[in-house]
Structure 1
Amino acid sequence: MTAAPPPLPWLTAHDPFPPVTQAWGPDTPLPGLLAAGAVLDAPHLHAAYREGIFPWFSAGQPPLWWSPDPRMVLQVAQFRLHRSLRKTLAQFRRTAQCEIRIDHSFRQVMEHCAHTPRPGQDGTWIVPGIIDAYCALHAQGLAHSVETWVDGKLVGGLYCVALGRAVYGESMFAHARDASKIALTALVALCRSQGAPQIDCQQATAHLASLGAAEMPRADFLRIAQTQQQQPALDWTFDPSFWATLDT
């Protein structure tokens, strides 16, 4: 039987986030839900990610803040480069018209993530306010896009938040076969080359699990992430030499 959840804190603009241990548990209707309200802007996003919290809500809803336990995390050393993707990536790497760009078209990546249809989903949580807030965070150097370009066209990509060497994945899109997977593979290669051990994936999905992501206790995830936050920021440029980290 589903238990009645505790009262959900309603935050004003000046309230701190509650401790993540107060998030609704697995026996409640919405596991991981922590709070509602507050202001959706770059300072609140920065404060949230520092504590392992992220926003997720639909149009017409107030900002909803989440911190699920367990947490879906991709340890970059465990990334699975399946044979079919390895073949596609090899062709991508040897084709002059194919390239990885970082932070070239951040807003466009977010807009594509918002508007690309997804099986089993009706609508999007990437509402205009979300796009504006993450673009402001991007302007501060704390959010990044990894982009797949072919023949001068953006065909896939992802965006993420990065605090130091802690990387928090958000959403991906693909307008060509495997284009989002190539962007994710590039992010993994960048993380491996610079010593970032994990990429937060937030919620469990079969697709992420097939690529090597797995659930881990929130406390373990936060311990690693908060240590990585204190380290120097990643260099968000992509060098083709990074692909070599995938060849072992």
Structure 2
Amino acid sequence: MTKITGIETIRTRADGTWLFVKVLTDQPGLYGIGSASDHYRCKVVQTAIETVAPLLIGRDVSRIEDIWQSIYTAGYWRNDAIGNTVIAGIDMALWDIKGKEAGMPVYQLLGGATRSAVAAYAHASGDTLTELEDDVRRYWEEGYTVIRCQLGPYGGGGFLDRAEARGPKNHWPQDRAFDDDAYLENVPKMFAHLRDKLGFGPKLTHDVHEHLAPHNAVQLAKLLEPYRLYFLEDLLAPEQVQWYRLVRQQ
């Protein structure tokens, strides 16, 4: 029986926002690596892993489901983003160990491959429609068939500067504000321009990044129908998933 002897965390990237978990065992050279990354709360996840680590020392690495349940039920408040990220990283590391012990990649343990390759998409952006069009053309010429299109950063097309953002009296000062109506106007214009210039050859996509209120997200999906997006990403926040039924119905 292989036992857990330690849990380590490894922060990567220049700003330390990418976190990995390393599960050590009593077998020389045998360890597992898992990703437990939360870009905005990396230190919180790291502390949570260090908190549950003593519960795992001496446990049998083969009891992956039992360890999963032990971590999940160890806290009074459950099923939160931080806790689930902790579980995911440790769970991944334990499967990494199981694959090494079996001498095969984990996907083989889980039933084997179901496809020979996976298509990749490129991320095109530009501060103007012309810049974006040029970026899409560049990726298309490089051989990408699926291209995600953003007008500047995530939410681009919906941000207004301080002079344009007409907030209520005594509102908190800010350099820019996000406006749903501006986004609903500019994003369809963006795809109208791209389809006019590039046709329907490229499979175009877009990431809303949860910027819109649910009823406006439904409206955006309807407005983009004529441009036949390959997919519309992150249209709604996780707590608003019930709105997807309305999106599909309309």
Structure with the higher helix share, 1 or 2: 2
TM-score above 0.5? no
| TM-score normalized with structure 2 length | 0.24
Point out the structure with the larger strand share: 1
Structure with greater contact order relative to length (CA < 8 Å, sep ≥ 6): 1
Query: TM-score by structure 1 length?
Result: 0.24
